Structure 1
Amino acid sequence: MDTLDSKIISVLPNAGGNAGFLSTPGVHKKLEVIESDVPVIKTVQRRLEKLHLEGLVEMEKRGAAWFWRKGAGAGGMAGKSGSIMTREEALALHVLRSFTSRQIPTLVAEALSDLFKVADKRLEAAVTEDERRYSRWADKVAVEHSGFALRYPQIDPEIFGTISQALFHERKLEILYRPRSNVTNDKCKVILPLGLVEVGGLVYLIGGTEGRSNPTMYRLDRLASANMMLESFSYPRSFKLDDYVKQQRQFDFMVEGEVTLKLRFVNGAGDHLLETPFAADQETRQTSTGLEVQGTVLLSQRLRWWLRSFGPYVEVMEPEKLRAELADEAHALAALYRR
């Protein structure tokens, strides 16, 4: 597509700005400053009308004269891409926003809000039946989570923005953290922001403390305030967030080491493991009493939560200590329901 549209948008005043609107001759004059071969005013007028139909510019009529400015959301990156955004790209952005259900992507996506607005307008401007198919496509796809839906605490966008900047610039953070055990805490502390991790709908800031080797996890929704300091710090070469999360398994909660886990499932409860194994060395065997699954895993609280979710449809055969522990829980649960 001709780049004239993007150049026209680039010279228009921003929506809501103090500059107001610009007449068609005024747009033409600004184009002459940045372009050596500018089309005649009538051509610029026609392109402005086209951009108005697409929702990328706003128009105000004053007598016989027409005045223009960028449409809401057509500034910055959106202004550069608005008129040249294909409907495939607009659809991709629309779907991306629709299925961004986790908190970190949702908060980060605020920076692309103008681009999302342009995408919506691009889809709404459909004229032909082929173009309207793009608008309808978004209503033909859905995502549903398998777990029980909880309403997780919301994170203050300003606090998230401050933390993100501190992470990017590697600057120290002064935070006021109020854990469940001390909700009235009013003492701030200085930490070194090392990373952000989202686990099960909750977002954690991984923060180091000078003089200590092990970092600490802070739930973002429990931060009462966060201020980026002028003082920078050297990001520790020895710290790798991926290693912290995946290998040290810090988010598995109270990791107790590797074990060989052997389970027996009944009533088809474990059939999904045939396609989504819980361990790299997983082995399965169908018997007359059910599906037996075995593999090497880390023993942790998260593993226990997963096993409990199957109720009476899974039997822990090994390790013996875990089997005895869950058996005691089952007896206690049965006693509770016999009251």
Structure 2
Amino acid sequence: MSSTAVRYLTMLRMVPRFPKSITTTELATRLKEQGFSVTMRSIQRDLEKLSTHFPLLVDEATRPFQWSFDRDATIDIIPALDLPAALTFELAKAYLSPMLPPRALSHLKPHFDEAHRTLLRERNPLGQWPDRVRVINRGLGGLRPAIDADVLETVTEALLREYQCKLTYQARNWPEPEEIVIHPFGLIFRDPNVYLIGTIEGREGVRQLVLHRASTGELVEEPVERPEDFDLDLYIHSGAMGILRSDKPIFLKLRCDKPALNHLIEAPLGFDQITSEGDDNTFDITVTVGDTQDLRWWLTAQAVHCDILEPVWLRQEIASTLERGLNRTRME
């Protein structure tokens, strides 16, 4: 492949979908970073030539011109979607639709549409997939708080480019909204909320910011200061997302009823879970878990199906909670 063709493909990948855009100046800078030395005039001519074959838009009211892909442009540029890729997009649509706001999903709509067209063109039974798949969350289905679309776009761009971002944020215990600069480390979707994990400029500790409490967002083109030892998975498994009651982990030993809690065998409560057979009706598990409020909610809900063998203090705490609840339901 000629260097010109490679440059064309590289340039097309740099052009964002409308309403975002990129200028010829920005394209020149990014192409130089990729090893292509080309003038802005040449870039302008290349884009004009490419626009006759691809759905490119140009805003000539600004100088330099701003270029973008049509909002509804599909991804049928090389390579075309095959059946596995098309099915993957159908699955993504099923799982993402309940979690993301409409504006964020709108950016993926052309991809979803092309995937569906691919399945239909192949006359494959998978084309009926959207009618045969539903996503149901455990527990009560509460309404998800609305997230400002501009905030979500700002945060995701900051994460991808490893930049800081500025948010107008109203924490539950703050008297009024504050403008804060965030060093973002990751996003966690924990139904019904979306959490931005990171640090706040000038304040100690890793924070969890609930995105629906942010009203405005702005990208700060400064690199994120991220601790070298921070790992998002380790952060989650430390129990930080479960409303920690203490920093000390709990060595938990349970005797569980069959078949009510058989799912714990296939979906362990922790990395170090050990399962052993009890009698015909029970099995035992031992596992190290975080000392969280979520753990207590779960143990309370499963009280009729499991015995807390260790630690004794936790068994007494759950028993006391159940007793208070029972007394309350008996009140007249």
TM-score normalised to structure 2 length: 0.67
Q: Return the letter of the residue paired with 1:103.
A: M
1:272 to 240, 257, 263: 263
Residue range with higher mean Cα deviation, 308-317 or 103-112: 103-112
- What number of residue pairs does the alignment pair up? 270
What is the CA distance between 1:324 and its match in structure 2?
1.0
- Does structure 2 retain, via aligned residues, the 8 Å contact 1:261–1:319? yes
The CA distance in 2 between the partners of 1:94 and 1:283, in whole Å, is 36
What is the CA distance between 1:185 and its match in structure 2?
1.5
Aligned-pair identity in percent equals 24
Structure-2 change in CA distance of 1:226 and 1:143 (3 Å): closer
The CA distance in 1 between the partners of 2:156 and 2:257, in whole Å, is 46
Structure-2 change in CA distance of 1:243 and 1:255 (3 Å): farther
Instruction: Within 5 Å, give how 1:49-68 maps onto structure 2.
Output: none
Q: Which runs of 5+ in 2 are unaligned?
A: 1-11, 13-17, 19-48, 56-68
The CA distance in 1 between the partners of 2:171 and 2:128, in whole Å, is 45
1:242 to 232, 236, 252: 232
The CA distance in 1 between the partners of 2:268 and 2:163, in whole Å, is 41
Q: RMSD of the alignment, in Å?
A: 3.7
Instruction: Within 5 Å, give how 1:253-332 maps onto structure 2.
Output: 253-256=243-246, 257-266=248-257, 268-279=259-270, 280-287=272-279, 290-332=282-324
Aligned to 1:66: none
Aligned to 2:77: 80
1:197 aligns with 2:204: no
The CA distance in 2 between the partners of 1:216 and 1:105, in whole Å, is 23
SS of the residue 1:148 aligns to: coil
Instruction: Within 5 Å, give how 1:1-339 maps onto structure 2.
Output: 73-74=72-73, 78-81=75-78, 84-101=80-97, 103=99, 110-124=106-120, 126=121, 131=123, 133-182=125-174, 185-230=176-221, 232-242=222-232, 245-256=235-246, 257-266=248-257, 268-279=259-270, 280-287=272-279, 290-339=282-331
SS of the residue 1:165 aligns to: helix
Which protein is bigger by CA-based radius of gyration?
A: 1
- Does structure 1 retain, via aligned residues, the 8 Å contact 2:170–2:178? no
What is the CA distance between 1:267 and its match in structure 2?
6.1
Structure-2 change in CA distance of 1:169 and 1:138 (3 Å): closer
The structure that is helix-richer by fraction is 1
Structure-2 change in CA distance of 1:278 and 1:119 (3 Å): closer
Please give the per-residue CA displacement for 1:178-228, whole angstroms capped at 9, x wherever unaligned.
12334x613322232232222233211123234444122110011121222
